[in-house]
Structure 1
Amino acid sequence: MPLPVRFTSLYRLVLRATSASVRHHGAASMQLQALYRPEFIEAAKVVKELERKQEQDKAKERWYADWEQRMYNTISLLVLSANPLKSNVPSRLTRNTSSLRYSLIGPMGSQRLRSTSRWNPQKPQSIIVRNAGIASQSGNDEREEIYNAVGRVLDEAFAGAEGSAGIVLGRFLPVVPGRRRKHNMKESLSSRKRWRGAEEAMTNFRKTR
């Protein structure tokens, strides 16, 4: 069952707005879009449930109406971010959230953790299934746990900031561990250096406390 045109149009508007908010910088827009994708995955589930039910579910209808309004408010914020001369706060917000996700996902050095494929709004489970079906690499379990733990903390912080502003800052899509492969994919040298640097920085920080 295809999703309503209104929903898919909203998704496309968010994609365009995120790209414009960082002046179409490829890496930065990819990070922002990856943050908003989980929001649309959850909203698509609600839309599907409402379409399947014959009786009205007022609670879910109110939830979706509120979510849709917050997404339109977010689009306005992203558009303001594209012009920092008018207001510098939205520009700093989008830049910082994009950098925050990159700082967390960058040291992982694993292609399975990067959202490189396009999300199909007609198949809201596509990204989750892809992550669940790809085998985890040897030695990545601890990194995945760290990513998920930090992601949960940031999600809580985002949710607290969103409440009073009536906007959406995005969510971190959790990593779903899969089966192991016999032949593990090799991490790039730069990725390993970044991860070792993060570990060394954390060790030095603990020593100073």
Structure 2
Amino acid sequence: MGAAKLPSSFTSLYRLFLRTSSTAVLHHRAATRHVRILWKPTFREAAVVIHKLQSPTLGISEKEQLERWRCLWELRMDRTLSLLITSAQSRGLAHRLTRNLSFLHHGFQKYQVHTRYSITRYWDPHQQEYKPARQARSYQIEAKKFDGQSWGALEETARMAEGKSSLTLGRMQFRLRRA
């Protein structure tokens, strides 16, 4: 038995989002990729809710709660699409916001690679004696702490903007590398 299919309204909204996100950043490949990755978790979360709504064993109160969430999500996505369309049509504030979100995601990926996957010193078998790697200096520890707090503050600011405007600006996620 296959997995339940998503309704055509959801898939067509996603396809419309893909086209609009590309247009919003003037079909720039890297920017399009960053913007799409930014909003991908939002659509995944909505797909999970839609699959739950299709479950026949769902209680009435839970179903009503999920329906309210889905209606609010659709309203937010409508406003997000209008932001992206405005971004494509003019070079005003909406376009600068979309462009900066793309730059921000690109910087976040670089930050993530630098902090989580930075290259450590490997053991050299030709070396006469083993010298352990230096301990992190206090200013390096403080810099990492500041970086983490900065990203948290930036995310909180984006959430407040989303709440005020009733739209979605995407989600940044740490992505784990595969071996």
TM-score normalised by length of structure 2: 0.72
8 Å CA contact 1:39, 1:171 repeated in 2:
yes
Identify which range, 34-43 or 168-177, moves more after superposition.
168-177
Q: Distance in 1 between matches of 2:101 and 2:119?
A: 30
Q: Distance in 2 between matches of 1:146 and 1:30?
A: 28
> Is 1:24 equivalent to 2:30 in the alignment?
no
Q: Distance in 1 between matches of 2:65 and 2:18?
A: 28
Task: State which of 83, 91, 96 in structure 2 corresponds to 1:92.
Answer: 96
- Alignment deviations for residues 136-155 of structure 1 (CA, whole Å, 9 cap, x no partner): 7865xx9xx99987655443
Q: Distance in 1 between matches of 2:166 and 2:174?
A: 24
Matches within 5 A, 1:1-209: 1-52=4-55, 53-56=57-60, 57-84=63-90, 88-108=92-112, 139=120, 152-176=152-176
Q: Distance in 2 between matches of 1:150 and 1:31?
A: 20
SS in structure 2 of the partner of residue 82 of structure 1: helix
Match of 1:198 in 2: none
Residue 55 of structure 1 deviates from its aligned partner by 3.5
Q: Distance in 2 between matches of 1:71 and 1:54?
A: 25
8 Å CA contact 1:43, 1:64 repeated in 2:
yes
8 Å CA contact 2:31, 2:102 repeated in 1:
yes
SS in structure 2 of the partner of residue 62 of structure 1: helix
8 Å CA contact 1:151, 1:174 repeated in 2:
no
- The residue identity in structure 1 corresponding to 2:13 is L
SS in structure 2 of the partner of residue 23 of structure 1: coil
- Alignment deviations for residues 33-82 of structure 1 (CA, whole Å, 9 cap, x no partner): 01100101111111111111443321111111001111011101100001
Provide closer, same or farther for how the CA distance between residues 9 and 149 of structure 1 changes in structure 2, counting only shifts above 3 A.
farther
8 Å CA contact 2:158, 2:169 repeated in 1:
yes
- The residue identity in structure 2 corresponding to 1:173 is Q
Query: 1 or 2 for the larger relative contact order (CA 8 Å, sep ≥6)?
Result: 2
- The residue identity in structure 1 corresponding to 2:87 is S
Consecutive unaligned residues of structure 1, counting only runs of 5 or more, are: 114-135, 182-209
8 Å CA contact 1:158, 1:170 repeated in 2:
no
Q: Distance in 1 between matches of 2:5 and 2:152?
A: 31
SS in structure 1 of the partner of residue 173 of structure 2: coil
8 Å CA contact 1:80, 1:91 repeated in 2:
yes
RMSD of the TM alignment (CA)?
2.9
Residue 157 of structure 1 deviates from its aligned partner by 2.3
Q: Distance in 2 between matches of 1:74 and 1:43?
A: 15
- Alignment deviations for residues 94-129 of structure 1 (CA, whole Å, 9 cap, x no partner): 01111111112135559xx9xxxxxxxxxxxxxxxx
